[in-house]
């Protein structure tokens, strides 16, 4: 029996969403076409958009359907930057892009690409520091903005961190930015469906989310963009999605996204309570068998995702732990991105002040809708011997 504790990477598709996708995808009709089939597809897309908007506190016209979180992040970072820097209402002084140092690569990489590529028109990227819990240091943000507010093109701070599960002070960031008229984007891929997210109330300019973290299929997501916000498109073509994101809209995927988002938000409170209980049980069990493991991320409950437990194990390497756990039927993650599968020290843990040695032994357990106490029990059952073995392997490698 396999214990799947990697819901932050991908969570199983909700059966109702799968049924909705299946029902829709066997029908012909491009949502841009004028005939009946096209109109029917368009109706599905627009109804889905309305449901998604309702679930996350946005207007339907503010929901831009995309191919997922990375696309949404790229569209937000590049699109907002270019619009603010060189669009019709742009200002060439706006060259600074402020991001938290713990952003997902979906945000970090387009930002740095703008900073290095001629297409970035001289963009300057500033990574803002976080504290030991991975929370943005607002004093640093304030200092950075107030140093020269007119030069800030945009601020991007994620809602919830994908590695350690720390929630960011979005309200404070927005409040500070609003004083200077600076747009704020938030990558909320890990947050929507996990914690309450109300786009209108947040005051954000743009927000990214994706289907496969909340029970829809992979390859569909959205960028919520406040009405009237100038944005330069990344994909040019047929002018779909208000000209912001060209490409035929996938009606079936949109349907699944609507069903899953609606369900995730509707059941959020009870699921979050259940996930917290499971997560705490997991944390207690893990610390019982590996007493020197360190739980990373925020301490206060209101600063944490309910279903995520991140630990570092001194003297063990994350990829050795992963292999040994996998061989014993426990599927989890080190939490950090890989390049051709090569584990790299996590930029998130580094930003939190961990040494590379401490960051090496990282494990992320992420729980979701289908998680059970049996999953937790399985982890606790195998983790002790696994850690012992991984530590021996670490010593063997260091000594050979």
Q: Are 333 and 341 in contact (CB under 8 A)?
A: no
CB of 317 vs another protein, minimal distance in Å: 9
Cβ nearer to another protein, comparing 19 with 319: 319
- For 147, residues 6+ apart whose C-beta sits below 8 A from its C-beta are none
Name the β-bridge partners of 128: 100
- Which C-beta is closer to another protein: that of 116 or that of 198? 116
Q: What CA–CA distance (Å, rounded) separates 40 from 51?
A: 17
Instruction: Answer yes or no: 338 catalytic.
Output: yes
Catalytic residue, chosen from 338, 357, 395, 397, is: 338
For another protein, give the closer residue by CB, 181 or 341. Answer: 341
Residue 151: Cβ-neighbour burial (10 angstroms; 0-12, 13-18, 19+)? middle
Q: Which residues contact 280 (CB under 8 A, 6 or more apart)?
A: none
Q: Which is nearer to another protein, 36 or 400 (CB)?
A: 400
CB of 129 to another protein, least distance (A): 24
Q: Residue 394 CB, nearest distance to another protein (Å)?
A: 8
Asked if residue 310 lies in contact with residue 364, where contact means CB atoms within 8 angstroms, the answer is yes
Q: How far is the CB of 144 from another protein (least distance, A)?
A: 28
Number of H helices, E strands in the chain: 13, 14
SS3 189: coil
Closer to another protein by CB, 228 or 341: give it: 341
Please, is 274 exposed, middle or buried when counting C-beta atoms within 10 Å of its C-beta (0-12, 13-18, 19+)? middle
H or E stretch including 394?
Answer: helix 373-399
Cβ at position 389, least distance to another protein in Å: 6
Instruction: Tell me which H or E stretch contains 15.
Output: helix 15-25
CB 252 within 8 A of CB 21: yes
Catalog residues that contact another protein under the rule CB under 8 A: 319-320, 323-324, 326-327, 338-344, 389-390, 392-393, 395-397, 399-400
Catalytic residues: 338
């Amino acid at each position: 029996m396999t214990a799947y504790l990697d819901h932050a990477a991908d969570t199983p598709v909700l059966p109702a969403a799968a049924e909705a996708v299946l029902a829709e995808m066997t029908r012909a009709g491009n949502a841009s076409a004028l005939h009946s089939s096209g109109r029917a597809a368009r109706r599905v897309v627009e109804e889905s958009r309305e449901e998604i908007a309702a679930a996350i506190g946005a207007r339907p016209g503010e929901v831009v359907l995309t191919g997922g979180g990375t696309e949404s992040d790229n569209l937000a970072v590049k699109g907002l930057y270019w619009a603010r820097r060189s669009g019709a209402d742009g200002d060439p002084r706006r060259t600074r892009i402020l991001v938290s140092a713990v952003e997902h690569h979906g945000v970090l990489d387009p930002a740095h690409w703008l900073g290095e590529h001629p297409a970035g028109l001289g963009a300057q990227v500033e990574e803002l520091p976080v504290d030991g819990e991975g929370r943005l240091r607002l004093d640093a943000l304030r200092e950075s903005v107030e140093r020269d507010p007119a030069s800030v093109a945009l601020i991007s701070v994620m809602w919830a961190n994908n590695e350690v599960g720390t929630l960011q002070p979005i309200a404070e960031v927005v409040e500070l930015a609003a004083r200077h008229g600076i747009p704020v984007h938030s990558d909320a891929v890990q947050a929507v469906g996990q914690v309450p997210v109300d786009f209108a109330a947040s005051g954000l300019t743009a927000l990214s989310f994706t289907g496969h973290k909340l029970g829809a299929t992979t390859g569909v997501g959205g960028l919520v963009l406040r009405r009237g916000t100038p944005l330069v498109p990344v994909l040019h073509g047929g002018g779909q999605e208000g000209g912001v994101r060209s490409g035929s809209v996938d009606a079936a995927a949109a349907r699944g996204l609507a069903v899953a988002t609606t369900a995730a938000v509707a059941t959020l409170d009870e699921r979050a309570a259940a996930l917290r209980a499971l997560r705490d049980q997991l944390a207690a069990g893990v610390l019982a068998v590996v007493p020197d493991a360190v739980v990373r991320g925020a301490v206060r409950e209101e600063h944490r995702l309910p279903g995520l437990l991140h630990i570092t194990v001194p003297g063990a390497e994350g990829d050795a732990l992963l292999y040994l756990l996998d061989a014993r039927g426990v599927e989890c993650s080190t939490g950090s991105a890989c390049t051709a599968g090569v584990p790299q020290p996590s930029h998130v843990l580094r930003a939190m002040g961990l040494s590379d040695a401490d960051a090496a032994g990282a494990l992320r357990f992420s729980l979701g809708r289908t998680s059970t106490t049996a999953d937790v029990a399985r982890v606790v059952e195998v983790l002790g011997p696994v850690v012992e073995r991984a530590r021996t392997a670490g010593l063997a490698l260091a000594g050979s």
